[in-house]
Amino acid sequence: MNVIPVKIDELIDELEVQIDDTFTYINTRTAEVITLTREEIRAAEDEIPLEKFPEWQRGNIKQAISIMEDEDGIYVDYTLRNEYNEYEIMEEFIGTIDNQLIRDELYESIQGRGAFRRFKDGIIEHDIDRQWYKYKENKIRELVREWCKDNDIEIQE
């Protein structure tokens, strides 16, 4: 169990911006959320001297070293890319729409390339974009809460 609760909004924000070459960890003693690049982790693993990196990147590499050497379980991997699927959330949201014509149109819009752009255009056109963003936020919040519970991370709402 972490000593200081982690702010759930910080975890939600982090989840929404995770990209393929970044990895996120939570320091369970300080509640700090740490995002590192693949390059920074590789530098820590390969023990590349810090002097070979720009000043701005050295702090992250030092944190990566701490994470790699963590034998006390202080750091928890919070890289949830695989658990967060916006496309599935869009499909679920469409299923909640009462109007059959709008529902059919949005289902059609999310097929193939450009699905996200067409979906966004469709929800704006039908004036349900606020409804979508609220639904998405609730789904992400639910995912983060569940993950924190499963990993004994105390959260601050």
Q: Which of 79, 104, 130 is the last residue of a domain?
A: 79
Residues 82/74, Cβ–Cβ less than 8 Å: no
Which of 79, 103, 120 terminates a domain? The answer is: 79
Segments forming the whole domain that contains residue 97: 86-145
What is residue 108's predicted lDDT score, i.e. its pLDDT? 96
Question: Would you say residue 90 lies in a domain?
Answer: yes
Determine the 3-state secondary structure of 76 from DSSP.
Answer: strand
pLDDT under 50: residue ranges of the chain: none
Query: In this predicted structure, what is the pLDDT of residue 2?
Result: 53
pLDDT (0 to 100) of residue 129:
96
In a domain, 4, yes or no: no
Q: What's the CA angle centered on 6, arms 55 and 13, to 5 degrees?
A: 70
What pLDDT, on the 0 to 100 scale, is given for residue 63? Answer: 95
- State residue 156's pLDDT score: 87
d(CA 147, CA 129): 27
Q: What integer pLDDT is reported at residue 85 of this predicted model?
A: 86
Angle between helices 115-125 and 86-95 (to 10 degrees): 40
Give the pLDDT confidence score for residue 14 in this predicted structure.
84
Statement to judge: residues 95 and 130 lie in one domain: yes
Do residues 25 and 153 lie in contact, with contact meaning Cβ atoms separated by under 8 Å?
Answer: no
How high is the pLDDT of residue 16? 77
pLDDT, position 145 = 94
User: Quick check: pTM over 0.75?
Assistant: yes
Last residue of a domain, one of 79, 108, 124: 79
The secondary structure of residue 73, as a DSSP letter, is -
